[in-house]
Structure 1
């Protein structure tokens, strides 16, 4: 047999083996290469049904109330809707940078610039806004990319967990959950006697409040103080609107004298929030026994829809309760 024939047969055999090797590699990769990994999917249950989403989404757009919770979990969205300056001001610098690096696609959930959003080529859209906004743009969002939507009544811990799962940022959630449990347990143990023997009321006032009014806060951070810490705080009767929905005139401030301790909103520096300042200037406030005795406690609540701000709230509450223990 000639050497030329052997060479041709050897080349043919090598080519065949190479083809088989490539075929086996392709069949056995099971999503191991970048392309297959990007194509892998999983399913999550949401307000808008069971949604098939990327296993490892890379280009996430957050809309409505999902913006800051996703960033709090370490996410870096490519698109966001607007949040208020007051919300941005209290963010840690790293989170503020992550928000400002994203493209703003609308002022609110129902005012999304769909063309701009589509231009970002998202592989996942996270949404929490009103049912009316969903009726307005929901189906159009779903036509752009897999969209996961949550109702406004979703409990904050469940909300954080579902965002972490959908956005594939569960590692941060695990650390935050552990820290939350640790802080709650510390406060309960350290201030057990105060918690068990003291009546509290949490009052507030927003920039939306009518002049000369305040409200009793039984939602928001006060829910955490009541339901997780165990503070004796007033709340609405079952089936009734929250107490926070009712504006009370300044004339009723004197009725707060029946509570041992009053908590009220302060900023990160411990100063009464701007909307609440008018309350502190009234004679009714100044004459309250809790105010006179130092039992009116300012507490900082940067938010209550994700663990990061809630942890800051618990730290502030801890410091406030410490003044009662002296």
Structure 2
């Protein structure tokens, strides 16, 4: 059984020294902030002075939207989800925000029209427009997305002047993941090998690390040998496979994500056609998870697209519901 990350390690990461947030009258309440106070935030693009506490926040990515909402702040601006509708696991407040383009191409004019006092994004997606964004409002970027979601929450919590809240929600998640691991052990299921796959209109993927892999890892679950990595930090997060590699998809349980046609490229098959072709092969029919009826179809919005604390907890819901209940 893999070793679970301990909440203590996450707590340590979340409580790195921060610049004090306050005014000449004394420190501001980290939960409420003060429009005259500020905090210096170190991030992927340097150091940015942010007002404490920002009241008009624009989020440029799915993980940022997810986590800012989880920290109790409703953004004034968000980018479109990767699907046609908002992810079901997100709170209804997300619909109050103005859409400012896509995660790949945010509309800077719309961002500016909202007169934000904080913009959050990632160097991975938005490095090219950082300077322009910084002229609109203080801008804070994480280095990347996905697998670093817990560290990113710490960053957003700093920028929102609520580091304690960031520490609290990640610690609560970690304790829940640890408890799931203990419950699985008591049920004799701690050695289950969990496979993560995704059917898309133009390709099929196996997920090794990344966001979904990190949740499986936190719960202490094993992966099939074909999906294990030697170096978690440096490994590729996913692999695209051909039909000949269907055996690499096997596990005691296969969690299967199905993408919407939103991802379809011109001339490609539909995702339903892709699934029909693959699951009609003898290789698929011979998988142990298939013969044991242990293939679970899950919502890609929280297994892969959301990439924040809300999605992580929704994934734990799925793991608890499917691994701790008897058929």
Q: Does TM, scored on the shorter chain, surpass 0.5?
A: yes
Q: Which has the higher contact order (CA 8 A, sep 6+)?
A: 2
Matches within 5 A, 1:26-41: 37-41=34-38
Aligned to 1:59: 56
Cα displacement string for residues 156-213 of structure 1 (whole angstroms, at most 9, x for unaligned residues): 1011121122124556545533431332122211211645544333222234x43xxx
Match runs of 1:170-209 below 5 Å = 170=163, 173-192=166-185, 194-207=188-201, 209=202
Do structure 1's residue 261 and structure 2's residue 253 form an aligned pair? Answer: yes
1:49 aligns with 2:46: yes
Partner of 1:114: 108
Does the Cα contact within 8 Å between 2:211 and 2:307 map onto a contact in 1? no
Q: Decide whether the 8 Å contact of 1:74 with 1:172 is kept in 2.
A: no
5+ long unaligned stretches in structure 2: 1-22, 260-270
What number of residue pairs does the alignment pair up? 279
Contact 2:66 2:310 (C-alpha < 8 Å) held by counterparts? no
Deviations 1:32-80 (A, max 9, x none): 9xxx942221111111112111011111122234233212332211222
Q: Please tell me the root mean square deviation across aligned C-alpha atoms, in Å.
A: 3.4
Q: What TM-score, normalized to structure 2? A: 0.72
- 2-side partners of 1:199 and 1:293: how far apart? 14
CA distance in 1, matches of 2:36, 2:97: 24
Residue correspondence of structure 1 range 81-230 to structure 2 within 5 A: 81-85=79-83, 88-92=86-90, 95-96=91-92, 98-109=93-104, 111-130=105-124, 133-135=126-128, 137-152=129-144, 155-170=148-163, 173-192=166-185, 194-207=188-201, 209-210=202-203, 214-230=204-220
Matched with 1:294 is: 293
Higher Cα Rg: structure 1 or 2? 1
Gaps in structure 1 of 5+ consecutive residues? 1-26, 268-272
> Hey, what's the Cα distance between the residues in 2 that align with 1:91 and 1:285?
31
